[in-house]
Amino acid sequence: METGINHFIFISAAMFCIGLYILLTAREAVKVITGLVILFAASILNISAFSGYWNFNPEGQITIYLVTAVCALNILAGIILMIKHYKAYRSNLFDEVKQVE
């Protein structure tokens, strides 16, 4: 079976769904961040497939770098918030969510 752009779309969709599952069911902070990385990787793969599968498309590549920069900064913000929350209250944010549940 010859591969095409549909394969990349299917892989990115599968990655997105599994990443969403990890994000919703994670108990540890590391796993939440890993889920976020997988979600962003799925979106990057999708954009990359549309921008560069047939030929090199600079507009798509620039969009990818914009998305990557925003993703990295968002993940950094999340890590900083979690560390600060831990330092302030000496507890894990996800542990408190579990207690609320």
Restricted to residues 39-68, the positions that interact with another protein (CB under 8 A) are: 41, 44-46, 48-53, 55-59, 61-66, 68
Closest contact distance (angstroms) between CB of 90 and another protein is 10
Asked if 100 is part of the footprint of another protein (rule: CB under 8 A), the reply reads no
Which amino acid appears at position 17 of this protein? C
Q: Does 3 bind another protein (CB under 8 A)?
A: yes
3-state secondary structure of 53: coil
Rounded least distance, CB 36 to another protein, Å: 12
Is 36 in contact with 78 (CB distance < 8 Å)? yes
* Count of residues interacting with another protein (CB under 8 A): 77
We find the least distance from the C-beta atom of residue 41 to another protein, in angstroms, to be 5
Site for another protein in 5-44 (CB under 8 A): 5, 7-9, 11-22, 24-31, 33-35, 37-38, 41, 44
At 14, list the tokens: 């599968």
Taking the C-alpha atoms of residue 14 and residue 46, their distance in angstroms, rounded to an integer, is: 11
**What Å distances lie between residue 55 and 51, 52, 58, 63, CA to CA?**
7, 5, 10, 16
